[in-house]
Amino acid sequence: MTTAQLPKLDPTMKGRDFLSLHDFSRDEIFYFIDLARQLKALQKDRIPHPYLAGKTLGMIFTKSSTRTRVSFEVGMYQLGGNALFLSSADIQLGRGEPIKDTARVLSRYVDGIMIRTFAHSDVVELAQYADIPVINGLTDLLHPCQVLADLMTIVEYKGKTDGLKMTFIGDGNNMAHELMFGGAKAGMDVVICTPEAYRPEPEIVRIATEDAKAHGGSITLMSDPVAASKDADVLYTDVWASMGQEGEAQERAQAFQGFMIDGTIMKAAHPKAIVLHCLPAHRGEEITDEVIEGPQSAVFDEAENRLHAQKAIMASVM
């Protein structure tokens, strides 16, 4: 295969920021998924696809990471480009330089920025002042790259997303928020099951509910994990205390008793349900070792798909 025969990129994506799946139409989300699957096949066959030859991605991290850093860095290499790791300890952003100054300076050095940080408002400001695409690698509010990989994994296993029931059990956090946004556009029935005190942001629930109605899906909030899991096609969970919430770990461990994906939850779900987890997993807390290592776990295919989904994003917007 020559470069001219590689999958075509959508020219309307060039230069766009990737801050949330809510910013993209259903067709655009499935464009990313389809491209990601094609890039995955090319990589499996060791067919070069240097869409970003000579280009550089600046990667800003104020939160540590395994999958985000490795997948973006390897992805840029496979696309023919380079990635620069920029921790808050290494750049002036960590010493008080305004975000808008960092955005304008990096725009003159690199071709795209990926940022993994705490406040979503920081990512929005970075995108506002940057002249190059900004990709949200995670904030406390949203995690779009992860959910794009999740939807890709669901398509691989189920062949579709429309009409499927996806139940998320745990904290109403960034994963719950983005799963609602992504699942709504994908026509899924999304159930978010949390303790009452840990429900997702009401405004995100409202927006996602409107999106879901427009695409034949639904958003439901519940607090009974077994009832929420009934006939689910996809079961999803995340850690109970995310990065920055370590001081609440003991309190959360008590609040989330009974919110573990275990054998009881698996029996309630559809017999062919798949299990997803964005990782890292605290086995014995939000999920049992038997489930994550079991035959219905798609967790490590899901983790691999971070690489391919993000390559689709980078190739398209950069």
Residues annotated as part of the active site: 116, 143, 146, 238, 278, 306
Nearest-angstrom CA–CA distance, 209 and 190: 10
Residues marked as binding for L-ornithine? Answer: 174, 238, 242-243
Q: CA-CA distances (angstroms) from residue 250 to 247, 253, 257, 289, 302?
A: 8, 5, 11, 21, 29
- Report how far residue 194's alpha carbon sits from residue 172's, in angstroms, rounded to the nearest whole number: 6
Residue 174 tokens, joined: 């960034």
The Cα angle at residue 109 between residues 108 and 112, in degrees rounded to 5: 95
What CA–CA distances, in Å, run from 13 to 18, 29, 120? 10, 11, 22
- Which residue ranges make up the annotated binding site? 65-68, 92, 116, 143-146, 174, 238, 242-243, 278-279, 306
Three-class DSSP labels, 60-74: EECCCCCHHHHHHHH
- Please give the annotated binding residues for carbamoyl phosphate, written as ranges: 65-68, 92, 116, 143-146, 278-279, 306
Task: Give yes or no for a contact between 186 and 233, defined as CB atoms under 8 angstroms apart.
Answer: no
